[in-house]
Structure 1
Amino acid sequence: MSPTQETAPATAGERSAPAPRLTPDGKGVIVPGRWRKLALVGGSLFADNNETSLLSVLAAVILPALGIGTAALGQLVAAGKAIAVVFGPFWAFVARRTNRKKTFVLTSVAAGLATIATGFAQGYGTLLLGYGVTAAFVAASLPLISEITSDLFDERSRGRASGYTWGGVALLGAIAGPLIGQLANVEDGWRYGFYLWGGIMVILALAVWLFFEDPGVGASEAASTSMTAEQRAVNDTLTWAKVRQMFTIPTFVLMLVQRLVSGHLLIASFGVIFLVQTYGFTTAVAAVVTLPFGLGFLGGTLVGGAVTDLLHVRFPRWGRIAVLQFAQLAFGAVAIVATQHDWGGIGVFAAFWAVLGLLQGFNPGVNRPIVAAVVPPEMRGAAYALMLSVFEAFAYAAFNLLAGYLGEAYGLGVVMLWLPGILMLVNGLFVTALYVTYPRDAIRLEDTLRDRARSTPGTP
């Protein structure tokens, strides 16, 4: 099969697309319409993740309205992430065994309907039920979109692609955050927020169904273009043996552990209520920090993705690791300074939140490409499910649960010192181990893909 042929047959209901072409260096494939396709699934990712934003931004209003305490916020977020631990890999498996696009659309529609239903909650039990059901379907988005991004973009451009995706999500979230905060001034306004976001999730899912064309597993790999359909079918099949094989890749195992010690996401889930309870801001005023945080995150994804790709081209064996380590160490240091002193007006806190957003924004553009560089294409969906939907979700659930209880017992100031602060410094030091494992694992995958291409009849 020549490089100008389709890397995978179109699924039912999809339109034929222009043929892909090799990148100038011949090591990757430029998939036709890749930015348009990424924008379609990225829009759904924004809608899926804003159900959590609604709860985080309006927690100071929702909890009293339903007669529940601060610890409930940690319990709810923890429950959602615990559910993702199970359903993230489940949906990745279903998508591989059936149809990736249909799985993505159906789970997004179901998540939207569950979000709408959450707006009718009358107490802790019904809020937990609605939030949990939503989480079960939202869990599909992270692994599927991460895998699709790796299939749309080659090794040299994955950092920018992941960065732009999460940058767009952050930009929309930054605009929506302060608007969501204003719902605190409307009677039962938080309910309208759930209704609105649920509707948006359904609409964006339908847009994916109508306009998105799945590129196929491994579409951005040059080796895939020279394989026969039978060879791709064998390589694309996900088996338990292949899943176990992922745990023999040292870099991937280290990335899983690195996600377990990532406390930075608490800034998003507890940041607003922290400012309300610790420094006395109203919910509407405290919610203002979501705008600079989101804009900072956008800047971080754009700058981080571009810098990651540039450093990778210049220093392919350690450039990405340096970016990841810098982001973790700097985030921990800034989080301590930002949260452990009363800086007075919301403006100073907003500036710190912008810097935290910037540093957190470096992560999508670097950790996904690191995984893609060491894990074979057919295993990446499962790899992302494990990293994002199991290990990161488990850590996030544990941290949020711990934050809720510690917040009630000792105050959220102590929580912010230890989890987004000191723990992230430890995380940054842990990344040092990747300087040893990453070069070896990346070379091993390059050799594997090269051997696959050479095993094809007629391939030099």
Structure 2
Amino acid sequence: MTTPVTKTTAPAQKEVIVPRRWRRLALIGGSLFADNNETSVISTLAPVIFAALALPLSALGVLVAVGKTVAVVFGPIWAYVARRTNRKLTFVLTSAAAGLATIATGFAQDYATLLLGYGITAVFVAASLPLVSEITSDLFGEASRGRASGYTWGAVSLIGSIAGPLLGQLANIEGGWRWGFFIWGSIMIVLAVMIFLLFEDPGVGASEPASTVMTAEQRASHEKITWPKVRQMFQIPTFVLMLIQRLVSGHLLIASFGTIFLVNTYGFTTAVAAVVLLPFGIGYMVGTFGGGIVTDLLHRAFPNWGRILVLQVAQLGFGIVAIVATQFDWGGIEVFAAFWAVLGFLQGLNPGVNRPIVAAVIPPELRGAAFALMLSVFEAAAYAIFNLLAGFLGEAYGLTVVMLWLPGILMLVNGVFVTILYKTYPRDVARFEATMLARTQENAAQR
């Protein structure tokens, strides 16, 4: 950004309350649940799917990696298409198409058709994360974004925590894994129809005071995405550091490899191992709900470092608990379930803090592109690489070693890396607020 940094933060502007913002968030959050949790059909039922199709352990890593690699390409594309056309229509069509592709995946007869169906599904699923993140920032202002993101992912986790163990019971039915895909695909289609009928797009920057005083021409000018504007994002140190931070996040392996890890390493059946998904989901919900509230409170009390502290505690805590939880045979599934609940809580702190951090330093018109880069490119690329490594290293050295290094030690490194944000974040927020104040004054002068 070109606006010079002042020693003091620009005066805070009153938050704009977008009408029916919670109802709108619930609608798009529902779609995010269906799209995002399609992966759980593979991860939860991997043992029976792989037995039915005679697949090796490395196949799970390849499947998840393919899905995330596709997201790297199509996440930014869908964000661009949505901005150039219509966000709501893009959301509806991609969710419906993902549902149809998920249903088709349930008819897979071998590895090639399973991989093809999963890859096609991923093309359309890639739209949900950047669009939901951008629209959430448009619905909620700076003071309540942490809570909004936390509630969204908490609700997603609550439903997923119930759905996960239920999916696990399909392992007891001949060909039950196919019904997992059929059910998930149907849910996606139903929610796509609900969004089409009930959702109203608030518009880009609807929660920003600067946007409310713009004329239609001024708003259209700011909403145009150009390459100079995109390059501008990479001149914001906090945003660049958040991208790197996502690259060294190995915690998502607990979701994709957790069930098969417990089956292969400690001898649980698929149905029993899937039980840990319930406490994990409940822990995640508590982390997102409570974490979003605590993050907003800390941010208001300590705006320069409150959010950074939450992010750092989440990363360091996850690494420590992951090592303790996975490196020892704790006997019954109940003890593992307790550890998974703590892991879910610590992972659940992330959505309520990393999205608001990015939104606090990125102009409204660039947030869609920023979230596409962070979630659909950098996070997805890291997830793809880690899952490939987990699959092949798991076959060579065992999943216990994989869990030690990726969700464990790497997350400790991640937590230490976050320390750099204590220096960059306050300066970048000051730049952002000064820029938005300048826009407000400029727009008012032109009216």
> Under TM normalisation by the shorter chain, which class is it?
over 0.9
What corresponds to 2:378 in structure 1?
391
Q: TM-score, normalised by structure 2?
A: 0.97
Contact 1:453 1:459 in 2 (8 A): no
Kindly provide the CA deviation profile for residues 38-93 of structure 1, in whole angstroms up to 9, marking residues without a partner as x.
00000000111121001000000001101110100000000000000000000000
Q: Does structure 2 conserve the Cα–Cα contact (< 8 Å) formed by 1:226 and 1:459?
A: no
Q: Could you list the per-position Cα deviations for residues 167-202 of structure 1 after superposition, in whole angstroms to 9, with x for gaps in the alignment?
A: 000000000011000000000000011011101100
Deviation at 1:241, TM superposition (A): 1.3
SS in 1 for 2:230: helix
Could you give the per-residue CA deviations for residues 227-247 of structure 1, whole angstroms, max 9, x where no partner exists? 111111111111111111100
Specify the alignment match of 1:110 in structure 2.
97
Q: Distance in 2 between matches of 1:439 and 1:112?
A: 42
Amino acid at match of 1:87: F
Q: For residue 179 of structure 2, what is the amino acid of its counterpart? A: Y
Percent identity over paired residues: 76
What's the secondary structure of 2:378's corresponding residue? helix
Equivalences for residues 256-275 of structure 1 within 5 A: 256-275=243-262
Q: Secondary structure at the match of 2:360?
A: helix
Kept after mapping to 2: 8 A contact 1:300/1:358: yes
1:47–1:201 CA contact under 8 A, matched in 2: yes
Mapped pair 1:51 → 2:38: yes
Which residue, 149, 155, 159 being the options, matches 1:172? Answer: 159
Structure 2 residue aligned with 1:195: 182
Residue of 316, 322, 328 corresponding to 1:329 = 316
Work out whether 1:367 is the aligned partner of 2:351: no
Amino acid in the other structure paired with 1:59: A
Q: Structure 1: which 5+ residue stretches go unaligned? A: 1-24
Flag structure 2 segments of 5+ consecutive residues without an equivalent.
1-11
Residue equivalent to 1:230: 217
1:220 counterpart = 2:207: yes
Query: Which residue, out of 270, 274, 295, partners 1:283?
Result: 270
One-letter amino acid of the structure 1 residue matched with residue 136 of structure 2 = T
Q: Which has the larger displacement, 43-52 or 82-91?
A: 43-52
The reply on whether 1:70 has 2:57 as its aligned counterpart is yes
Match of 2:38, SS state, is helix
Partners of 1:440 and 1:272 in 2: CA distance: 43
State the Cα deviation string for residues 281-321 of structure 1 (Å, max 9, x = none).
00000000000000000000011100100000001111000
Distance in 2 (CA, whole Å) between partners of 1:269 and 1:57 is 8
Q: Distance in 1 between matches of 2:38 and 2:53?
A: 18
Name the structure 2 match of 1:310.
Answer: 297
Over aligned residues, Cα RMSD in angstroms? 0.9
The amino acid that maps onto 2:29 is G
Of 199-208 and 223-232, more deviation after overlay is shown by 223-232
Matched, 1:448 2:435: yes
1:422 aligns with 2:400: no
Task: Specify which of 156, 159, 162 is matched with residue 143 of structure 2.
Answer: 156
Match in the other structure for 1:128: 115
Distance 1:63 1:241 in 2: 47
Once superposed, which parts of structure 1, at least 4 consecutive aligned residues long, lie more than 6 Å away?
A: none
Q: Give the aligned length.
A: 436
TM-score by length of 1: 0.94
What SS does the aligned partner of 2:329 have?
coil
Give the counterpart of 1:182 among 155, 165, 169.
169
What is the DSSP-based 3-state SS (H/G/I as helix, E as strand, rest coil) of the residue aligned with 1:360? helix
